[in-house]
């Protein structure tokens, strides 16, 4: 790879950089509207960040309140290798509250632009410098690692910002941080500001994505000598978010051979954070989005089957993922044949052409083509009857009481089985009932719900992916009742996964 920034008078060679992350998912990430993490959720995320090799974890803002301090306490009591810090305003009490949580360090934030100094904190440049010096000395005297952040630094007067950080270093600060608080900086502005700061001492960079430039500005900062990148998992954070840790990590590793963390941990981290925050991942999100390693169009699928690297910048395993080939409107013969091969189905060239046409017809209706669709088409085209082994006869689910319960009546190889289950909701209870009736050692890999029409009577489509031994199938089912759609899809998936001869055990067999 060429080094984009190498040779520019204000840059170091990016590929020689040593870079670490400060993860702020638990602080700035949690500032995304509606997000609030419990102590257990913060502890789980922090533990995963630590084992992936993140150097500094900003666990929260101790000044926020008692609940937040409990979450920070949980993280500091984990005994992680990472340095665990708390955000603190330029206020002594904020540092005392952080000390109460037993953190290793503070991210001491003082206003840097005149807008923040005069109109928000209502003070003066000189007083900001005095406060930064006094509180840096106070925090270091209490044994804390101190990073001084100039909020809105990208809109600050550069001479003032430089003077502020020089005084902070003289007072004992461990590092300064360049803050593009409103994500407004261009890469050239970032380069000139960060270069001035790195000349003073160790410098971090904190970029936001309001202009879609967060990753670029983080990379430019590193090229200008910054060695600690503030980032959040999935890029969650204020407004358009912070720079996404996974994007910077992979850009550095793939583009410049700069290793930061164990990138294979990224997908699991992304799922954990999406699950705890309820901020879903866009399918086309770089690195961790569902489609990042999924290929549908025929030309891409054919190319990928010939050479896995044909349409991917790096192997999915590098970020803890697997490649998926799916079928739809844009499918071609190679992809359809590969899909059939996976289920051990041989077809003639002529049958394949008919199957491809039928796949495209489903795709034209705007639908994903599942494994169950493909298998049904192949059965019809080849004139084979499918002997169903499992059928849903009846389903009841109740969710009004304290424990949602359900019972399912199934026909298994012509014999009736009735089982009941409990769960966190009616769908969970109904799926437990089915699992009780068919104790197949299968894993629910994914579960998706789409409302097809608006309104409370909407028809919903449930798509499940279930795997058993080395096979997996995707199946969809639509119904106005989400519980019924879920169970029909699950039963169909189990039926597809059972070989003709395997006995179907009961859970208590
Ligand atoms: C860019 C960022 O991400 S900044 C971090 C944002 N994080 C947070 O806001 C954490 C959650 N915040 C909170 O829980 C509350 O805002 C608290 C507890 C911190 C403060 O609550 P309140 O005392 O009610 O103040 P309020 O939220 O209304 O206003 C913020 C105060 O902090 C002051 N402040 C803001 N930044 C700084 C700073 N860097 N240094 C010192 N004071 C600051 C403001 O001037 C204002 O003070 P004022 O009340 O004297 O005018
Ligand atoms: C407080 C600082 C680091 C911040 O979150 C920002 O500038 O966006």
The DSSP code for 116 is I
- 149-189 pLDDT, tens per residue? 999 999 999 999 999 999 999 999 999 999 999 999 999 99
Q: Which DSSP helix (H) or strand (E) runs through 460?
A: strand 460-468
State the pLDDT confidence band at 339, using cuts at 50, 70 and 90: very high
Residues 102, 72: Cα–Cα separation, whole Å:
9
Q: Name the residue ranges covered by the structural domains of the chain.
A: 16-277, 294-382, 390-497
- Supply the angle between the helices 426-437 and 482-497 in degrees, to the nearest 10: 30
Mean pLDDT of 316-336: 97
Residues 6 or more apart whose Cβ sits within 8 Å of residue 112: 128, 150, 151, 152, 153, 156, 160, 161, 164, 179
Whether the pLDDT of residue 1 is over 60: the answer is no
Is the confidence metric ipTM above 0.95 for this complex?
A: yes
CATH superfamily of 16-277: Aldolase class I (3.20.20.70)
H-only helix segments in 1-116: 39-52, 66-76, 92-100, 114
* Range 390-497: architecture per CATH: 2-Layer Sandwich (3.30)
| Residue minimizing CA distance to atom 2 of ligand 2 | 151
| Residue 472: predicted pLDDT | 86
Beta bridge partners of 412: 390, 415
- Nearest alpha-carbon partner for 291 in 318, 311, 276, 265: 311
Yes or no: is domain 294-382 CATH 3.40.190?
Answer: no
Pocket-forming residues, ligand 1, beta carbon under 6 Å? 28, 31, 61, 63-64, 89-91, 109-111, 120-121, 151, 181, 238
| Residue 402: predicted pLDDT | 84
Residues 105, 49: Cα–Cα separation, whole Å:
17
- 438-488 pLDDT, tens per residue? 878 889 988 989 876 667 777 888 999 999 887 889 999 989 999 999 999
- Percent of the chain having pLDDT more than 70? 95
- Mean pLDDT (the chain, rounded): 94
DSSP 3-state of 452: coil
| Residue minimizing CA distance to atom 37 of ligand 1 | 89
Of 225-229, 372-376, 381-385, give the range with the top mean pLDDT. 225-229
- Nearest alpha-carbon partner for 202 in 184, 182, 177: 177
465 lines ligand 2 (CB under 6 A): no
Closest ligand 2 atom to Cα of 24? 5
Closest ligand 2 atom to Cα of 230? 3
pTM to 2 decimal places: 0.89
Mean pLDDT of 245-263: 97
Whether the pLDDT of residue 140 is over 70: the answer is yes
- 264-289 pLDDT, tens per residue? 999 999 999 999 999 999 999 999 99
Two structure tokens written together for 59: 């666990």
28 lines ligand 2 (CB under 6 A): yes
Whether the pLDDT of residue 232 is over 90: the answer is yes
Residues 432, 436: Cα–Cα separation, whole Å:
6
| Residue 4: predicted pLDDT | 61
Are 245 and 21 in contact, with CB atoms under 8 Å apart?
yes
| Residue minimizing CA distance to atom 51 of ligand 1 | 121
Which mutation among 37, 58, 64, 71 tests ligand 1's pocket best, with the greatest number of atoms within 8 A of CB?
64
């Amino acid at each position: 790879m060429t080094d984009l920034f190498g040779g520019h008078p204000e840059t170091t060679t990016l590929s020689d950089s040593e870079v670490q992350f400060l993860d702020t998912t638990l602080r700035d990430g949690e500032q995304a509207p509606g997000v609030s993490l419990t102590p257990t959720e913060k502890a789980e995320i922090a533990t995963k960040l630590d084992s992936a090799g993140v150097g500094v974890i900003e666990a929260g803002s101790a000044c926020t309140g008692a609940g937040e301090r409990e979450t920070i306490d949980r993280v500091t009591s984990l005994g992680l290798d990472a340095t665990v810090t708390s955000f603190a305003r330029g206020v002594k009490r904020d540092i005392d509250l952080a000390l109460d949580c037993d953190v290793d360090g503070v991210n001491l934030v003082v206003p840097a632009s005149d807008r923040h100094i005069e109109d928000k904190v209502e003070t003066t440049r000189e007083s900001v410098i005095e406060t930064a010096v006094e509180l840096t000395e106070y925090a270091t005297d209490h044994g804390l690692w101190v990073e001084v952040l100039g909020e809105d630094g990208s809109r600050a007067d550069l001479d003032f910002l430089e003077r502020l950080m020089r005084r902070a270093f003289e007072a004992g600060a461990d590092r300064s941080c360049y803050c593009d608080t409103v994500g407004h900086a261009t890469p050239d502005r970032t380069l000139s500001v960060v270069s001035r700061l790195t000349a003073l001492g160790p410098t971090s960079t904190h970029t936001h994505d309001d202009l879609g430039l967060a990753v670029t500005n983080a990379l430019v900062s590193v090229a200008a000598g910054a060695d600690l990148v503030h980032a959040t998992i999935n890029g969650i954070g204020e407004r358009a978010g912070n720079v996404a840790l996974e994007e910077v990590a992979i850009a550095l590793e793939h583009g410049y051979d700069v290793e930061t963390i164990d990138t294979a941990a990224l997908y699991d981290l992304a799922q954990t954070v999406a699950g705890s925050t309820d901020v879903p991942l866009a399918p086309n999100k770089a690195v961790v989005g569902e489609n990042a390693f999924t290929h549908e169009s025929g030309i891409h699928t054919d190319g990928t089957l010939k050479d896995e690297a044909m349409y991917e910048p790096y192997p999915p395993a590098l970020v803890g993922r697997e490649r998926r080939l799916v079928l739809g409107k844009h499918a071609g013969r190679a992809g359809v044949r590969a899909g059939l091969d996976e289920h051990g189905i041989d077809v003639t060239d002529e049958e394949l052409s008919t199957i491809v046409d039928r796949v495209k017809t489903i795709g034209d209706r705007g639908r994903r083509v599942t494994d169950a669709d493909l298998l049904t088409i192949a059965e019809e085209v080849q004139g084979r009857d499918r002997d169903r082994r499992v059928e849903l006869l009846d389903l009841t689910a109740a969710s009004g009481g304290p424990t949602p319960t359900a019972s399912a009546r199934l026909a298994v190889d012509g014999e009736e089985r009735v089982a009941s289950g409990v769960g966190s909701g009616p769908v969970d209870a109904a799926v437990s009932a089915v699992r009780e009736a068919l104790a197949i050692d299968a894993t629910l890999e994914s579960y998706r719900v789409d409302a097809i029409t608006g309104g409370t009577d909407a028809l919903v489509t449930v798509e499940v992916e279930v795997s058993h031994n080395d096979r997996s199938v995707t199946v969809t089912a639509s119904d106005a009742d989400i519980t019924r759609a879920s169970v029909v899809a699950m039963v169909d998936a189990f039926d597809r996964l059972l070989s003709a001869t395997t006995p179907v055990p009961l859970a208590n067999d």
